[in-house]
Amino acid sequence: MNNTAEHQTQKLKKPELLAPAGNLEKLEFAIRYGADAVYIGGRQFGLRAKAGNFSFEDMEKGVAFAHKRNARVYVATNIIAHNADLSGLETYLKTIKNIGVDAIIVADPAIISTAKNIVPDLEIHLSTQSSVTNWRTVQFWKDEGISRVVLAREVSLREIRDIKKHVDVELEAFIHGAMCNSYSGRCVLSNHMTNRDANRGGCAQSCRWLYDLFQTGDELDDYSEIPLFEENDDPYTMSSKDLCMIESIPDIINAGIDSLKIEGRMKSIHYVATVVNAYRQAIDAYLADPKNYSFDPAWLDEIVKASHRPLIKGFYYQPPNKEAQIYGEGPKIRKFDFVGLVLDYDNDTKTATIQQRNNFKVGQEVEFFGPATKFVQTIEKIEDEEGNSIDAARHPLQIIKMKVNKPVKPYDMMRKEN
């Protein structure tokens, strides 16, 4: 499904590619691998309590790194606050404004009104936690001074085009990553199961647990449980497959979405770099020549190397059906480990200096990849920092040297199939 023909005579606006950054290192890799902007969490008021999150010091370093490379930084401040959660909010907002963040992502009207009063020049983006699904609600929030609305994941492309037609405001939408089993932010399963509030940063992802099903006895006084699964049956989950729109970049851009958002502040550096780089290539290829654009299957191959669940297109074309659900263990997916980070390359000796990030050894096949790098080779020899031959890089963050078949650059990665 493609709407490119009707837009061929129009000048396309380049959308922002927005990446997750759970810590300072992930922020740097997201930007190096092609993100136009990143969203991060501070130590308070965000919805990923288990992510690394940013101290004010790291936030300042991240903003400086991003701005030097013409990228933007948004801070998630999107809890649904209880009375006790509001303590220290004014000081927090003033601090991040002084650090130089470009916007905050907010769901709670109390935080919105506080921000408008305390830091009126700080841009406010409405979080997907607010579940905005129609143009009149978008108009309401625009009238309240919101400069960007992050749409609910449940909105279709047709609805997005209709919103754009009615309201002149920036729209942000998720194009890749985990899907919530409920309307984003409206699930209380985690609260019930673990007493961890999903709306205050503590989601235990109970929908992704494995469950057995039982039927209770028919009589009121019969509390026996009858298993509905056989002993060897796969356990049941309520887990959704992951969103992936890389095959639909023309439709996404032509719908008028201003910011294309990747989910995953708790995901690995390998995940962030791989996914961002794939979308960067697809977006740039389409904008460079919309009439002659064709999807490169290699981009999806890259995505799969960083993904751990099957992929779907969410609500963009039609409401998901039973095929969007993972009912049992799910299909086996090839997994790749990030095993090394390139620190340096000697062109004379064709030798790379690599920081170990996971075990690898002589004889294994590895793949080097980066914004402008991609090749596969077999490891023939490894040397430690003193030049001694070793059979494997076993120690965390160990520095080694090895011959490479093609030139590599600092911040390129090395991975191997698990």
What's the pLDDT score for residue 331?
66
| Average pLDDT of the segment spanning 174-200 | 78
Give the model confidence (pLDDT) of 292-342 as tens digits.
999 999 999 999 999 778 899 999 999 998 888 887 666 667 789 999 999
Q: Give pTM, 2 decimals.
A: 0.89
What's the pLDDT score for residue 213?
74
What's the pLDDT score for residue 5?
44
Give the model confidence (pLDDT) of 42-91 as tens digits.
877 765 555 558 999 999 999 999 999 999 999 999 888 889 889 999 99
Backbone phi and psi for residue 345, each to the nearest 5 degrees, phi listed first: -145, 130
Asked whether the predicted pLDDT for residue 15 surpasses 70, the reply is: yes
Domain parsing of the chain, residue ranges: 5-183+240-326, 336-417
Q: What is the mean pLDDT of the chain?
A: 90
CATH 3.30.1360.120 for domain 5-183+240-326:
no
Least confident of 247-251, 257-261, 329-333: 329-333
What's the pLDDT score for residue 10?
57
* pLDDT tier at 201, thresholds 50, 70, 90: low
What's the pLDDT score for residue 307?
74
Give the model confidence (pLDDT) of 146-159 as tens digits.
999 999 999 999 99
What's the pLDDT score for residue 67?
98
Asked whether the predicted pLDDT for residue 414 surpasses 60, the reply is: yes
What's the pLDDT score for residue 217?
62
Least confident of 4-18, 29-43, 363-377: 4-18
Decide if 101 contacts 59 (C-beta within 8 A).
yes
Asked whether the predicted pLDDT for residue 223 surpasses 70, the reply is: no
Q: Which residue has the higher pLDDT, 320 or 260?
A: 260
CATH of 336-417, one of 3.40.50.300, 3.30.70.270, 2.40.30.10, 3.30.360.10: 2.40.30.10
